[in-house]
A and B are shown apart, each in its own frame.
Chain A
Amino acid sequence: QITLKESGPTLVKPTQTLTLTCTFSGFSLSTSGVGVGWIRQPPGKALEWLALIYWDDDKRYSPSLKSRLTITKDTSKNQVVLTMTNMDPVDTATYYCAHRRRGYSDYWGQGTLVTVSS
């Protein structure tokens, strides 16, 4: 059974760096073809794809946010970490991590709401 859970701060101040951790079970990030991605959703708005890391450490980022994002994995801990620098109130959103296959996200975490406010 594949499960994922996001964790991190619920409130960050403008200009701060956000660090989110996705802890998963039921699969290994050393298995060929497997990845973990991050997607966010501002309140009442659409989903936005952010970043993705594959089993072979290939990393992909949203072009519009690439300069602010870093994704890493710790295979031994079954964790993927996303950092986003220079947070702004417009970054207020629910952040999801998801198990990835080529072209789709088949298992999602419950999401974590991050509010950016001073």
Chain B
Amino acid sequence: QSALTQPASVSGSPGQSITISCTGTSSDVGSYNLVSWYQQHPGKAPKLMIYEGSKRPSGVSNRFSGSKSGNTASLTISGLQAEDEADYYCCSYAGSSTFEVFGGGTKLTVL
């Protein structure tokens, strides 16, 4: 069982927007602005999409955005495209003892 809770799957049609939630606790997501999001296509390495909660690395489309409210972080993808179909993982710093925890992953299907 993963430390952070994500929905197992979400889906949307091309052009629509979807949001993936990532629920943690006051010991991780709720205490630090260090949530990152990764996209993983089948058979490929994860790719950083969002860091420090809402920042986008160079080269990542501005269709991807991140936010946080309390113990829950969210990844929103607007203007869904076929190539967005992938697994998405959240990750949070969890203090000096636990250090870092991942979510269980969410499979995004573009209908």
Contact = CB atoms under 8 A, between A and B. Distances in A.
Top 9 nearest A-B pairs by Cβ distance? A103-B34, A104-B51, A104-B36, A108-B45, A49-B100, A47-B102, A60-B99, A46-B105, A46-B104
B14 interface: no
A63 interface: yes
A46 B45 contact: no
B1 to A, nearest CB: 10
Contact of A110 (B45, B89, B91, B98): B45
Contacts of B69: none
Interface residues of B, number: 25
B46 interface: yes
A102 B102 CA distance: 16
Contacts, number: 58
B93 interface: yes
A109 B32 CA distance: 27
A48 B3 CA distance: 10
Nearest to B97: A63
Contacts of B97: 63
B18 interface: no
A49 B98 CA distance: 10
Interface string A54-73: 00000011110000000000
Given A49-B91, A109-B45, A110-B45, A102 B105 contact: no
B30 interface: no
Nearest to A108: B45
Contacts of B38: 47, 105
Nearest to A97: B45
A39 B46 CA distance: 10
Contacts of B100: 49, 52, 60
B54 to A, nearest CB: 12
A55 B49 CA distance: 24
